[in-house]
Each structure stands twice: as C-alpha cells, then as structure tokens.
Amino acid sequence: MHSEHEERKTLAETLKRNAEVTESKLNSLKEQFEQNMQLLVKRDNEVKIAKAECADKVTELEAMIAKATSLELTVEEEVALRKAYMASEAHLNQAASSLADLVQQSTADVQGLFDKLERKTAVEKANRALVAECRKAVSQRASELESSLTNLHSAEGQFHATLHSSLDTFVSTTQTRHDEQQQFLQARLKKISTSLREVRSGQMESKEVLAALVGELDATVNEMQASSEASLDSLKQTCRGAVNDVVLANTQRFAQVAASLDAMVQSHVTTLREVTDLGRSSQQQIVEVKAAADAANAQELASLREQNALLTATLDEMKRSNVSLKADLMADFAKLLDRFTHQQESVVSISITSAQALVNRSTETRQLHSAEQSSQLASLSTVAGDMTDQLEEAHTSLVKQTSVIGKDVSQASGELDTKMDAFASAIEQDLSSTAQSSARGLDEISTLTAKAREEIESRTKAQSAKIKACNT
C-alpha cells in the first residue's frame, strides 16, 4: 500500500507538475494570443494603411500612365524635331563640306601660286647665275685681251729697243769700217805720194807729170772721202727716218688699240650696269609679287576665319534655338514646329547667303590677285627677255670690237712689216751704193796706182838707160 501510496503521490506530483506546466503553457499561449491579437490589430491597421497607400499608388500609377502617354507623345515630337534638326544639320554639313572644298581649292591655288613664285625665283636665280657667269667671262676676256695687248706693247717696245740698238751698232760698225778703209786708203795714197815724191826728186823733168798724178790721186781720195761721208750720212738719216716712222706708226696704232679697248671696257661696264639694274628691278618685282601673294594669303585666311566664325555662330544660334524649342515643346507643338522649321530655314538661308557672299568675294579677290600675278609675271618675263637681248647685244658688241681690235693689230703688224721691208730695202740700197762707190774709188785708185807704177817703171828704165849711157 505504501508503494501504491508512493505511486499515487508520485503520480499526483507528476500531475501537479503537468498541471503547472500546462498552466504555464496556457499562460504563455494566452500571452502569445494577446500578442497575436495585438499583432493582428497592428497588421489590420497596417493593411488599412497599405490599402490607403495602394489607393494612392494606384492614383499615382494612373497619373504616371497618363504622364507616360504624354511622354510618348513628347518622344514622338522629339523624334520629329530631331529629324528636322538632323535635316538642318545635313544642310549645314553640306554647306560646311562645300566651304571645306572651297578652302582646299583656295589652299591649292595659293600653294600653286607659291610654287609658281618658287619656279620664277629659281629662274631668276638661274638668270642671275648666268649674268654672273657672263660678267665673269667678259671680265676674263677683257683681262686676257688687256694682258695680250700689254704683252704685245712690251714686245713691240723690246723690238723697238732691239731694233734701235741694232741700228746704232750697225751704224757704228759701218762708220768704223769706213774710217778704217779711209785710213787704209790714206796710208796707201800717202805711201804712193811719198814714192812719187821720191821719183820726182830724182827726175826733175817728170815733175809736172808726177805733180799731176799726185793731184789726181788727192782729188780721188777727197772724192772717195766725200762720197763715203755722204753715203754714211744718208744711211744714218735713212735709219733714223725708218725707226721714227716705225715708232710713230706703232704708237698711233697702239693708241687706236688702247682707245678701242677703253671703248669696249666702257661698253661692257655700261652693259653690266644695265644688267645689274635689271636684276635689281627683277628682284624688286619678285618682292612685290611675294608681298602680293602674302597679302592674298592673309586675305584668304581672314575670309576663311570669317566663314568659320559665321558657321560657329550659326551652330551656336541653332543650339540656343533648339534649347528654347525644347523648353517650349510641351506648350504648343504645332506652333513650335512651324516656328522651328521657319527659324531653321531662315538661319540656313542666312548662313548659306553669307557663305555664298564670302565665297564670291574670295573668288573675285583670287581672280584679281591672279590677274595681278599674271601681269607681274609677264613683266618679269619681259624683263628677262630684255636682259637676254642686252646680253646678246653685249656679246655681239664684244665680238665686233674684238674683230676690230684684231684687224687693227693685223693692220699694225702689216704696216710694221711693210715699213721694215722698206727700211731694209733702203739700207740695202745705201749699202749697195756705198759698196759701189767704194768699188769705184778702189778701181780709180788701182788705175792710178797702175799708172803710177807704169810711170815709175818707165822713169826708172829711162834713168837706168841714161846711167848706163853715162857710164859708157
């Protein structure tokens, strides 16, 4: 029983504990229920709030749908505006492309103008090089001609000095020979005269004959002496006259050659000065052409800057117009589109008109500068032609003057040869006459000597005969 009591007690305690547990669970469930109820009330309030918010959101959604519909219309309008804007941009791009082509063409024209100027500059440099070469050649020719004339003058001077010295030597030698011959003849005649005097002193009857013989011998000696002196004086005068004629002729001829040389030098100096002046004028014209080209280039650049500024202003104006159009887009689409189209057309028309005006002005300016460049280049061509003609005239004048100088020198040489031949002929004639006179004198002396010898022999024989007769 005790065990049962213990079991019952244990069971009662167990049930009590279970009841406590159940009560605690019940309490916790109550608390949880209360909490759930509170939460449910809260959730109910939240649902009510959510429903109110949902109603608000539905209202907002409906408003947003309406706004989206209006935005779709706005997008369609924006698309239409963008298409119109793209069309206007296409027109502007076309205008800009045409302006770019015009700029490229203008740049090509300016580059071609500079290339032409460079070619003309190269031609002018070549012309200046040719002028310098021609000037150098003319100076060289003049120097060579002056050197040749100087050498000719010195050679002629040496020839004259040598000729004068040779003639002086010849005259002195001839005079020495004449003096020796005269002394020899005088000694011989003196010896003959002495012999005749001895004969005459030994034979008085032959005194008259011997006196006549001695007188004849003295007359012959005097005649030979006078003839020799006359021939010598004639030879001296002939030599002096020939030398003076040669010197005078050569002096006159060389004076003519010097005058021709001075005239040639002055002519070439004048020609070179004219060529130098032409070169300077050509350089001045080239400078003017370059200045005109620089001015044309600057004007083209200014025109292009104006065109770029105009295009930039047009684009800025279109951007501002598009911004204002976008701001007014929702107000009045139809009126805005008409105004946009009208503004775009007016802006594009004004831009194109301004660009065309600038293009026309640039074209006229380029044509004007092209005409000026053509005239200046034609002037340069004329100046180059004049320079070529003057160089040809200078060359022809140089050839003519050189020919004249050659003729003068040839004529002087011919005259010198002629006068020297005449001088040689005169000397030969004088020498021949002197030799003939000397030969005649010697013949006369020989004849007189033979007569004297015969007379002496006859007188000696007569005296010998008389002596023999006296002795017998």
Residue among 361, 358, 365 at smallest CA distance from 314: 358
* pLDDT tens digits along 125-172: 777 777 777 677 767 766 776 776 677 677 667 766 776 777 677 667
Contact by Cβ (8 Å): 329, 79? no
Could you tell me if residue 69 is inside a domain? no
Q: How many angstroms separate the CA atoms of 376 and 285, rounded?
A: 7
Q: What is the pLDDT along the chain (472 residues), one digit of tens a residue?
A: 567 777 777 877 887 887 788 888 888 878 887 887 888 788 788 878 878 888 888 888 888 888 888 888 877 877 877 787 787 777 777 767 777 777 677 777 767 777 877 877 777 777 777 777 767 776 776 677 677 667 767 766 776 677 677 767 766 776 776 677 677 667 666 766 666 666 556 554 455 555 566 566 666 666 666 666 666 666 667 666 666 666 666 666 666 666 666 666 566 666 666 666 666 666 676 667 667 666 766 676 666 567 666 666 665 666 566 566 555 555 555 555 556 556 655 655 565 566 556 556 655 665 665 566 556 656 655 655 666 566 566 656 655 666 666 666 567 656 666 666 666 566 667 666 766 766 676 667 667 666 766 776 676 677 667 767 776 6
Could you tell me if residue 39 is inside a domain? no
Q: Is 293 helix (H, G, I), strand (E, B) or coil?
A: helix
Query: What is the per-residue pLDDT for 204?
Result: 43
Structural domain for 331, as ranges: 85-471
Q: How many angstroms separate the CA atoms of 352 and 349, rounded?
A: 5
Could you tell me if residue 348 is inside a domain? yes
CA angle (314 as vertex; 309, 316 as ends), nearest 5: 95
Q: How many angstroms separate the CA atoms of 244 and 456, rounded?
A: 54
Query: What is the per-residue pLDDT for 2?
Result: 67
21's tokens: 């547990």
Q: What single-letter DSSP state applies at residue 329?
A: T
CA 375 to chain centroid, in Å, comes to: 23
3-state helix, strand, coil in the chain (%, to 5): 100, 0, 0
* pLDDT tens digits along 228-240: 666 666 666 766 6
Could you tell me if residue 407 is inside a domain? yes
For residue 329, which phi and psi values (nearest 5 degrees)? -65, -40
Residue among 301, 292, 261, 316 at smallest CA distance from 113: 292
Contact by Cβ (8 Å): 256, 126? no
Query: What is the per-residue pLDDT for 383?
Result: 59
Contact by Cβ (8 Å): 271, 390? yes
CA angle (455 as vertex; 449, 461 as ends), nearest 5: 135
- Cβ-based neighbours of 255, under 8 Å, separated by 6 or more: none
Q: What single-letter DSSP state applies at residue 330?
A: T
Q: How many angstroms separate the CA atoms of 260 and 81, rounded?
A: 95
Query: What is the per-residue pLDDT for 249?
Result: 64
Could you tell me if residue 214 is inside a domain? yes
Query: What is the per-residue pLDDT for 271?
Result: 63
Residues belonging to the chain: 472
Q: CA torsion angle for 10, 16, 21, 26 (degrees, to 10)?
A: 150
For the whole model, what pTM was predicted? 0.43
77's tokens: 């309008």
Containing 234, the helix (H) or strand (E) segment is helix 207-327
Q: How many angstroms separate the CA atoms of 281 and 277, rounded?
A: 6
- Cβ-based neighbours of 202, under 8 Å, separated by 6 or more: 463
Query: What is the per-residue pLDDT for 76?
Result: 82
Q: How many angstroms separate the CA atoms of 129 and 142, rounded?
A: 19
42's tokens: 């809260």
Q: How many angstroms separate the CA atoms of 255 and 248, rounded?
A: 10
Containing 204, the helix (H) or strand (E) segment is none
Contact by Cβ (8 Å): 341, 84? yes
Query: What is the per-residue pLDDT for 205?
Result: 47
Q: What is the largest CA-CA distance in the chain?
A: 269
Could you tell me if residue 328 is inside a domain? yes
Query: What is the per-residue pLDDT for 65?
Result: 85
Could you tell me if residue 222 is inside a domain? yes
User: Structural domain tally of the chain?
Assistant: 1
CA 10 to chain centroid, in Å, comes to: 143
- Cβ-based neighbours of 239, under 8 Å, separated by 6 or more: 167, 170, 171, 423, 427
CA 53 vs CA 56, 60, 65, 359, 390: distances in Å: 5, 10, 18, 68, 111
- Cβ-based neighbours of 422, under 8 Å, separated by 6 or more: 242
Query: HSE-up of 25 (CA within 13 Å, CB side)?
Result: 6
Could you tell me if residue 24 is inside a domain? no
Please name the residue that has the structure tokens 């500059």.
121
